[in-house]
Amino acid sequence: MNTDRLDLAERAARHAALSDPARLDVVDRLSLGDLSPTELQQALGVTSNLLAHHLGVLEHAGLIERRRSEGDRRRTYVHLVPGALTGLLPGRTATARRVVFVCSANSARSQLAAALWRLASDVPTASAGTQPADRIAPSALAVAKRHGIPMLATSPLALDQVLADSDFVITVCDNAHEELERRPALHWSIPDPVRAGTERAFEDALADLTRRVGDLAPRLTAA
């Protein structure tokens, strides 16, 4: 009985946190990708103090978390806690001719994201890097093989070799997000498994990407 009451209290706290239109807007936007506080402030058109208050309420309710950027260490990204919206249906949807996943080297995260997308959606996909490496990271190929995910046997490609004006761009790397002059449609702040260099890091990156692709694919339709 006590556990049931705790569950009800947690659910009520989430609903209370979402009762403000601005906070609901924040969660609605974060349901598709990660945003920095500055990007959220610009999107919502509120003062920094008011945004800080809203983020504090959402964080206290267990709906959001903040992660330090791996690029500009002064910057943070806000993202939804996995499972935070269980039982709640986020409302934003989008259309796309093609989804292009971008990271710095195009050797791990963007390659894995594109491979997962091909399994989850009929919308075409590609991947690219702002500073492409010479080859796909062996550990990225290994983690895909362990989970039965087909990977295209292509070398990393530069963004200007791949990108078209109509593409729906998703950055999966903080550095790439901060390097791009053209603002991507979405940003997913995924820690770099190549930098960590461990099997666990690649498993974690794949799990994060799998969840995000699974969340987005049903809500992104062909343009």
* Domains, the chain: 2-80 (1.10.10.10), 94-222 (3.40.50.2300)
pLDDT in tens, 159-196: 999 999 999 999 999 999 999 988 889 999 999 999 99
In this prediction, residue 9 carries a pLDDT of 80
Give 92's pLDDT tier (boundaries 50, 70, 90): low
List residues bridging with 187 in a β-sheet: 171
In this prediction, residue 86 carries a pLDDT of 72
In this prediction, residue 87 carries a pLDDT of 61
CB 213, CB 151: distance < 8 Å: no
pTM, 2 dp: 0.75
